[in-house]
Amino acid sequence: MNVTVFGSGYVGLVTAACLADAGNRVVCIDVDPERVAMLQSGHCPFYEPGVDALLTRNARAGRLRFTTDAADGVAHGELIFIAVGTPPQEDGSADLQHVLEVARTIGEHMNGYRAICTKSTVPVGTARKVRAAVARALQARGATIEFDVVANPEFLKEGAAVEDFTRPDRIIVGTDSARALDLMRTLYAPFNRNHDRLMAMDIESAELTKYAANAMLATRISFMNELALLAEKVGADIESVRRGIGSDPRIGFHFLYAGCGYGGSCFPKDVRALQRSGEEVGQHLGVLAAVEAANERQKHLLFERIDAYLGGVAGKTIALWGLAFKPNTDDMRAAPSRVLMESIWAAGGVVRAYDPVAMDATRRIYGERADLVLADSAEAACEGADALALVTEWRQFRSPDFALIKARMRRPAIFDGRNLYDPAALAELGFDYQGIGRASGRRPA
């Protein structure tokens, strides 16, 4: 099938690469010539396992090419994905400017039937706005050409995006057209495992499904984070509680980890955008307002605790393990590490940070500054530190050489924002240890 993808960001590029790998001829459009040049030379502009290999393989096979030429892209694909950015506006709503610009471009250049799919996370009602924008552009040319719109949200986790695309739990397709649905079924057939994963529904339900999924997951996390604070006060251990409730299949074990808050490009943005959508139609989503407030509080927790423990961080050095908002990515968007670092700096402390992949991303954001040392290793970050904060649960932080760390630190204190360590074991090793929600972290002997 001929497929065009507008946008070579995270979602667009993974979509383009995976669809090409399934045998489709894919053209990926981006307005940024530098990015396109980089992609043409086979380099992925962000860190995501597996994408580089897909780019090389499919570009070589002639199934995937990149261009800034929108007209070329519109002429190419019978199926066109819109996967451009929808940055949050000040009020939390998604900015649809780029999506609607692409829609207009499609209307200006299309020369035959097109199925136009929104892949970016967009609020309910966007596919219809896309339809109207395409129709207006066609009308302006005096053209009558048939087309359909489809809402086809993505459910890609950073760090596992290729896997999520090629082995999806579900493929959500919202459309009112049998023709477009047929095209989508053919396109996604290679990714159905064992049984049909494609769920066809109306456009609005498909659009809402995406937000509902992310908001539900964020809700679980904030709920656990609040329970963790309660656990500390009543002398309970949130890890025991997590295991206790997760074993109920109605609850399940996923996304029940208390920590130093959720970050990333999706949860914070989507929780806010969904509240905003509610407000627009007069439906207050009180649960989500609380989810967001709890998360903001949680992102400040590590700093407050370290600050209290040290009697102020001014002039102190804090070692920080993990900068990315979660493991296996270099993405720093809304990362809890940023709140911690910025609070430490504002209070006059120094950060010695280490992350397996997000060091360059950190340098790009903060530049060179005297109160930020990017260390060569996890151990080196601990050199002379008054406290160690663990913010991202990279695998390599799971069982470190505690004796070595202790020897390097000025003060053996660990603030574990992801509950990676056993409080009792760390106490025995001579650390002052604080997890999240682990007042009675000691397991029965």
DSSP state of 397: G
Closer residue to ligand UDX, CB minimum distance, 217 or 290: 217
Phi, psi of 67 (to 5 degrees): -155, 160
Phi, psi of 130 (to 5 degrees): -60, -45
Q: In terms of Cα–Cα distance, which of 175, 106, 95 is closest to 134?
A: 106
Closer residue to ligand UDX, CB minimum distance, 326 or 408: 326
Strands annotated E in 142-276? 147-151, 171-175, 198-201
Closer residue to ligand UDX, CB minimum distance, 322 or 423: 322
Instruction: Retrieve residue 263's tokens.
Output: 């970050």
Give residue 247's identity as a one-letter amino acid code: S
Cβ-Cβ contacts under 8 Å for 292 (sequence gap 6 or more): 222, 268, 271, 272, 275
Q: How far apart are CA 439 and CA 445, in angstroms?
A: 17
Cβ-Cβ contacts under 8 Å for 421 (sequence gap 6 or more): 390, 414, 433, 435
Q: How far apart are CA 69 and CA 27, in angstroms?
A: 10
Closer residue to ligand UDX, CB minimum distance, 260 or 350: 260
Q: In terms of Cα–Cα distance, which of 86, 87, 119, 83 is closest to 8?
A: 83
Judged by phi (left if over 0) then psi (alpha if -120 to 50, else beta), residue 312 lies in: left
Closer residue to ligand UDX, CB minimum distance, 136 or 167: 167
DSSP state of 348: T
Residue 142: which H helix or E strand, with range?
none
CB of 403 to ligand UDX, least distance (A): 28
- The answer to whether 114 touches 149, Cβ cutoff 8 Å, is no
CB of 159 to ligand UDX, least distance (A): 7
- The answer to whether 152 touches 174, Cβ cutoff 8 Å, is yes
Closer residue to ligand UDX, CB minimum distance, 237 or 386: 237
Q: Would you say how long the chain is, in residues?
A: 445
Q: Is 117 a catalytic residue?
A: no
Residue found under tokens 């097109």: 114
CB of 303 to ligand UDX, least distance (A): 17
Instruction: Retrieve residue 42's tokens.
Output: 């086979």
Annotated active-site residue in 28, 260, 266, 382? 266
CB of 426 to ligand UDX, least distance (A): 21
CB of 46 to ligand UDX, least distance (A): 12
C-alpha triplet 55, 56, 58: angle, nearest 5°: 70
Partnered with residue 372 across adjacent β-strands are 351
CB of 338 to ligand UDX, least distance (A): 12
By the criterion CB under 6 A, which residues form the site for ligand UDX? 154-158, 214, 217, 221, 255-257, 259, 262-264, 266-267, 325-326
Q: How far apart are CA 277 and CA 40, in angstroms?
A: 38
Residue 422: which H helix or E strand, with range?
none
Closer residue to ligand UDX, CB minimum distance, 260 or 388: 260
Closer residue to ligand UDX, CB minimum distance, 70 or 218: 218
CB of 178 to ligand UDX, least distance (A): 28
CB of 160 to ligand UDX, least distance (A): 8
Catalytic residue ranges = 266
